[in-house]
Structure 1
Amino acid sequence: MLKPTENAELFQIDSLQRAAFGYFLEYADPVTGLIADTSLPGAPSSIAATGFGLSCYPIGVERGWISRREAVGRVLTTLRFLAESSQSRDQRASGYRGFYYHFLDMRTGARTWRSELSTIDTALLIAGCLTASAFFSREDEEEGEIRALAERLYARVDWRWALNRSDTLTMGWRPPGRFLKYRWRGYSEALLLYLLALGAPEHAIEPKHYTVFADGYDWIVVQGGAHLHAAPLFIHLFPQAWLDLRGLADRPMRERGTDYFENSRRAIGLQRDHARQNQGRFAGYGEHLWGLSACHAPRGRLRRKDGRWQRLRGYANRGAPFGPDDGTLVPWAAAACLPFCADASLSALSQMTASHPGLLKAGRFPGGFNPSLPGEGPEGWVDTRVVGLDQGLVVMMIENWRSGFVWKLTRSLPAIRRGLERAGFEGGWLATETL
């Protein structure tokens, strides 16, 4: 039985998770099912946020926040639209070769903001489709259609085409026919992309491509041990919102006696150490106020509360160690890190909500804040937008901490097992569970 303080903590976590889940009810288009990138009026859909939404609907059913019938309707609306939307080289299409443009018009599904055909964002979308298909497993017409549509959407993604005749996946493509020059090589959120591309039922890439991806890893020494470096938190968190990597190791991890889950724990520790040391003398930094990741912020030289000038980076991948850091924090970090370091996350959430009460709007954390800058309260500058990706990460990671629910769903997917095994992963649930 939980102690009284634990009950209080769980109640607060439940409220935070439920409010974050509400984003996907409030910011989904009723006709297309697409999810808005942010809460700003007129924001387009982010296909990655839509993938998070598809993964969060099953959590809402499990928690009693939405009926199964309503969730089925929402998922079907989204999958039917995706399956029927335009796939061509036309600049106003929704996608091409099974991939989707990063940003789509909420009501029409047309490409917007001149965005790229995004390999990683398509992977996040497909992960959501597969998660929904794993949950809606009843033998009835509608849930059967969910599974069939998810399989169809996954099967038509041409992962091999995205290699563009080379050894690693490109980051994207722009019409009428130009691949982006950057590729996914080295540790990043593309870990999920490679595993889906390896496990795909059609157009799968080969294990050699994963080997080249992993050969680009940047290893550093932390407390005498090897650490796979990635400064922003989201890189560690995004793949593991879906993938249960506890005790699983590929060749690079086995050679160094660790795994991705433990590596993420060390990354969180490095962020906390960075905040404790606070070499930039930023307001509020400390053991219970940390969290550097990709987020928006002001741009240019601004005067801080303490009178010093600070160069703000606008949208940037902030991180630790080695930065960059301009005093801008992501308040959702503590909630998203619960499965890895629960004590540190709970203490951070408790202090943050007590000392910065203006952060929560309708119970949701904004995209970022900077307590070193002038503002209406101790929060300093606060982002006016709530970001769909952040809310999805909060919902999923809280649930993985509470019950491991999303991890259980994805462990049941043959494609996930196939992708992990083809990438050379061993141990963990791969060694103890059978499909």
Structure 2
Amino acid sequence: MLKTYLPILLFLLPFLSSCEGDTRDESPLIVKGYDRHVELRWPKQEGYDTYRISVSSAGNQYTARATVSDTIYMDFVNDLGNNLSLRYKVEGLNTQNQAIEIGEAEVQTKDFSEEELLDMVQYYTFRYFWEGAEPNSGLARERIHLDGEYPQDDAHIITTGGSGFGMYGLLAGIDRGWVTREEGTARFEKIVNFLGEADRFYGVWPHWLDGETGKVKPFGQKDNGGDLVESAFLMQGLLAVREFYREGNEREKAIADQIDQLWQEMEWDWYTQGGQDVLYWHWSPEYEWEMNFPLLGYDETLITYILAASSPTHTVSADAYHKGWAREGGINTDKNPYGHHLMLKHNGAEEMGGPLFWAHYSYIGLNPKGLKDRYADYWEHNKNHTLINRAWCIENTGGYKGYGEDLWGLTASYSVKGYAAHKPGSDLGVISPTAALSSYPYTPKESMDVIKNLYYNYGEKVFGRYGFYDALSPEANWYPERYLAIDQGPIVAMIENQRSGLGWNLFMSAPEVQQGLKKLGFQTGN
């Protein structure tokens, strides 16, 4: 029996040893108390497909809480009170409804400080990229659904861009002791080995890869080759990992060397279609340049130009940035919605700014604090973009239920019907938690208001094993238990950036990045 649940014990060891209210007795039932919920885990029992969870408080008799088919359960205990001492029992049930006791364990909940709440949100979101990773590659699954709507044919499809964001979460996990350095090193070895063997197109990965084979999974009919933007998001993460391991032991230096090789093999100049003064998003071995999507600012793709200019082997000229991306100054605007100045034209959303992921994706590693060029002060621009998005939700011209100072944030996410790029002026009554949470560096108090509201007032409707679910709509009474890697990754990365600066410090320490920024005329620093 010990071998069955030993991996669970080993994984939870850092948290069990550092948190009050945890239990580590002889029971295979592992429980962890938070503020308003308790998490239980236990080993799967052969012949028992469902499990009954019961709880006792103050020495009273056990009462049933749930019957589940999984081996993890999050019990939100708002109905029982605060600062609780509880005892749980888990039983396995077979098809004849016969029960076998798996274990009992005691646990305490307690009111959390804001720091403890941030620890919890980051840790749970980190688990998307640790526990929820595609097993063969170690990279991030495109999506994970816990609501019975999971597309099984996507179970091994990984997202290159979302994986890049997730690497900052993995680094935070090592730095904060959620996993050991050795465990993290083993995961990054798996990742870089896989990426080195996976399909690339002039050194550039596709949007999606099959995690079992490393072969391209078309994102669309003609999108079956290199995706320069998603690969930029991926390399933004890999360069931070390289810097993390650069001065490590022999095994760690080997990871850094492998990443350096992958970095040098990316042919950014190929994606100018023969030397044009602009970068192009896609190239396909079958359709070549037919998608014909030039990267013209402003949107989420700034990091692509930064990395292309920084490449030590296949760099692009500064003209590609100034004439292509910035359109020789045409990128600038002078809009002041809600009294907040937007300096840059947001493609298709000039009046009040685009979805909030535009303030996140390029800045997972690229530090916007003190980042300026002839076109913008990027810290002020991103902060204002966030405040405009928030002000729109507070004004709430659509009259959507729940909107306000403690529930705001429009960005690309799941929607009630399909997927949508939510933004001011294109608001469907759907709030995406990643919008406010990933904006934590820009609006720490305002983002914390959203975190508290979601956790304390919405609870199990919006918070699951990998953190806050992707989207919600109180207006439509819609609370899907679904996750997307590209939305989870920025949450843990950007919160960590504000708390410790870990990701920003690592990425900005890369000498090529500093050279590339100077080449394009950027100033950096506070």
* TM-score past 0.5 threshold: yes
Q: 2:326 — aligned with what? A: 214
Supply the distance in 2 between the matched residues of 1:168 and 1:346 (Cα, whole angstroms): 39
Kindly indicate whether the alpha-carbon contact (under 8 Å) linking 1:15 and 1:363 is maintained by their aligned counterparts in 2. Answer: no
In the other structure, the counterpart of 1:197 is 308
2:422 to 315, 318, 337: 318
Task: Find the counterpart in structure 2 of residue 410 from structure 1.
Answer: 507
Structure 2 residue corresponding to 1:263, chosen from 355, 372, 381:
381
Match for residue 187 of structure 1 among 282, 286, 298: 298
Local SS of the residue matching 1:421: helix
Within 5 Å, which residues of 2 pair with 1:116-127? 116=223, 117-127=226-236
C-alpha displacement at 1:407, in angstroms? Answer: 1.0
Q: Secondary structure at the match of 2:463?
A: coil
Q: Give me the whole-angstrom Cα distance separating, in 2, the residues matched to 1:82 and 1:261.
A: 33
Where structure 2 has 5 or more consecutive residues not aligned to the other structure, the ranges are 1-109, 347-352
User: Deviations for 1:366-390, whole angstroms, at most 9, x for unmatched residues?
Assistant: 12111111xxxxxx21233211122
**Larger relative contact order (C-alpha < 8 A, sep ≥ 6)?**
1
Amino acid corresponding to residue 342 of structure 1 in structure 2: P
Q: For this pair of structures, how many residues does the alignment match? A: 390
Deviation at 1:250?
A: 0.8
What does the per-residue CA deviation read over 1:65-89, in whole Å, with 9 as the maximum and x for residues that have no partner?
011111111111111111123xxxx
Q: How far did residue 354 of structure 1 move?
A: 2.5
2:343 match: secondary structure: strand
Counterparts of 1:369-380 in structure 2, within 5 Å, are 369-373=472-476, 380=477
Aligned to 1:176: 286
**Structure 1 residue 140, shift from structure 2 partner:** 2.5
Structure 2 counterpart of 1:122, one-letter code: S
SS at match of 1:104: strand
Q: Which position in structure 2 is the counterpart of 1:353?
A: 455
- Equivalent residue, structure 1, for 2:357: 234
Match of 2:257 in 1: 148
Cα distance in 2, alignment partners of residues 199 and 32 from structure 1 = 27
C-alpha distance in structure 1 between counterparts of 2:389 and 2:219, whole Å: 35
Q: What amino acid maps onto 1:53 in structure 2?
A: G
Q: 1:174, CA displacement in angstroms?
A: 2.5
Distance 1:13 1:410 in 2: 23
Asked whether the 8 Å contact 1:297–1:383 carries over to 2, the reply is: no
Q: Is the 8 A contact 1:411 1:417 kept in 2?
A: yes
Unaligned runs of 5+ in 1: 86-93, 254-258, 300-313, 374-379, 430-435
Q: Distance in 2 between matches of 1:324 and 1:330?
A: 14
Q: Which moved more, 1:214-223 or 1:47-56?
A: 214-223
Contact kept, 8 Å, 2:139 with 2:191, in 1: the verdict is yes
Q: What's the offset of the Cα at 1:103?
A: 0.8
Which shifted more, 363-372 or 412-421? 363-372
TM-score by length of 2: 0.71
8 Å CA contact 2:269, 2:316 repeated in 1: yes
- Residues 25 and 363 of structure 1: CA distance in aligned 2, closer, same or farther (over 3 Å): closer
The structure number with the bigger radius of gyration is 2
In structure 1, C-alpha distance between the alignment counterparts of 2:227 and 2:297, rounded to whole Å: 18
Whether the 8 Å CA contact 2:341–2:381 is kept in 1: the answer is no
Task: Name the structure where helix makes up a greater proportion of residues.
Answer: 1
Rounded Cα–Cα distance in structure 1 between residues aligned with 2:519 and 2:322: 10
Aligned to 2:483: 386
- Which deviations, in whole Å up to 9, do the C-alpha atoms of 1:373-424 show, x marking residues without a partner? 1xxxxxx212332111222111111111111111111121012111211111
**Residue in 1 aligned with 2:60?**
none
What SS does the corresponding residue of 2:467 show, helix, strand or coil?
coil
| Match of residue 30 from structure 1 | 135
Tell me how far 1:225 sits from its aligned partner: 4.2
Q: Secondary structure at the match of 1:183?
A: coil
The whole-number CA distance in structure 2 between the counterparts of 1:337 and 1:225 is 17
Residue 432 (structure 1) aligns with: none
Alpha-carbon contact 2:197-2:214 (below 8 Å) kept = no
String of CA shifts for 1:140-166, please: whole Å, max 9, x gaps: 221111111111111111111111132
1:422 to 519, 523, 526: 519
Deviations 1:78-129 (A, max 9, x none): 11111123xxxxxxxx221011111111211111145422111000111111
Tell me by how many angstroms 1:332 deviates: 2.3
Aligned-residue offset at 1:209: 0.5
Q: Select 1:248's aligned residue among 359, 368, 371.
A: 371
Hey, what's the Cα distance between the residues in 2 that align with 1:350 and 1:271? 19
C-alpha distance in structure 1 between counterparts of 2:118 and 2:521, whole Å: 36
| 1:307 counterpart residue number | none
Say whether residues 1:282 and 2:400 are aligned partners.
yes
Are residues 1:399 and 2:477 paired? no
Separation of aligned partners in 2, 1:61 and 1:427: 27
Q: C-alpha separation between the residues in 2 aligned to 1:30 and 1:371?
A: 35
Deviates more, 1:290-299 or 1:220-229: 220-229
**TM, length-normalised to structure 1:** 0.85
Secondary structure at the counterpart of residue 227 of structure 1: strand
